[in-house]
Amino acid sequence: MHSFKCGAPVLDFLGTLRARRNPVPTEMLVSPESLEAWFRESGLVDGDTPCGPSDLEQATALREAVYLLVAATLAGDGYDADALALVNDTARTPSAVPQLARRGRRRTEATPQQALSSIARQAVQLLGGPEAALLKECSRDECTQVYLDRSHGGRREWCAMDPCGNRIKAAAYRARKRTEARAASPVRSSR
């Protein structure tokens, strides 16, 4: 259900609101259960993290605050004070803590607030560290996903090949074929 292609869970969390510039963006966190699923699928926690409607509201508020900070970083602008305060306040609360199980396997259980604190701390670490320089937004117009470009030479253009890279390449191919077809068609003279 959820997608994890951005190089950092906090950026994948931003991707739970897709196509932000569309008239009607696609919301992936539509219920407390979808938030629970995101926590589990992201690897942030193992097992279930029962969430309620207020947890979902807190999660979407945190997501949008982090997005404002990331967008400001991409634009080279200063941070929105309210967004900064929300991220920092959330990061101050206890985060999810991994525990070692009997057979040496790591297991992480957390409350929704602890999971959100972990996301806020990742945002602080990312935006306050050297990887902030690797942030990029997908070049497909309909996509607003932000990712870390760790490619050789920093030339990655899309959040992922599927679907964004494939769609851009297919559109470029169709445009080339139309141009070639026009060039190959005989020119009619008007008399």
pLDDT, one tens digit per residue, over 133-187 is 999 988 777 778 888 888 877 776 766 556 665 565 655 556 676 777 777 777 6
Q: Residue 152 has what pLDDT?
A: 77
Q: Answer whether 148's CB lies under 8 Å from 131's CB.
A: yes
The CATH fold assigned to 9-184 is Jann2411-like fold (1.10.3300)
State yes or no: pLDDT of 64 exceeds 80: yes
Asked which of 70-79, 82-91, 177-186 is least confident by mean pLDDT, the reply is 177-186
pLDDT range class, residue 112, cuts 50, 70, 90: very high
Residue 165 has what pLDDT? 54
- What CA–CA distance (Å, rounded) separates 17 from 74? 18
More confident residue, 126 or 138: 126
d(CA 93, CA 78): 25
| Helix %, strand %, coil % of the chain (to 5) | 50, 10, 40
d(CA 67, CA 71): 6
**Which token pair is 81?**
């004070």
The pTM of this model reads 0.82
Any idea where the domains of the chain sit in the sequence? Answer: 9-184
- Mean of the per-residue pLDDT values of the chain: 86
Neighbours of 16 (CB within 10 A): 20
Closest CA to 167 of 130, 138, 124, 137: 138
Task: Look at residue 25 and give its three-state secondary structure.
Answer: coil
Q: Please tell me the predicted confidence (pLDDT) of residue 138.
A: 83
Give yes or no for residue 3 having a pLDDT over 70: no
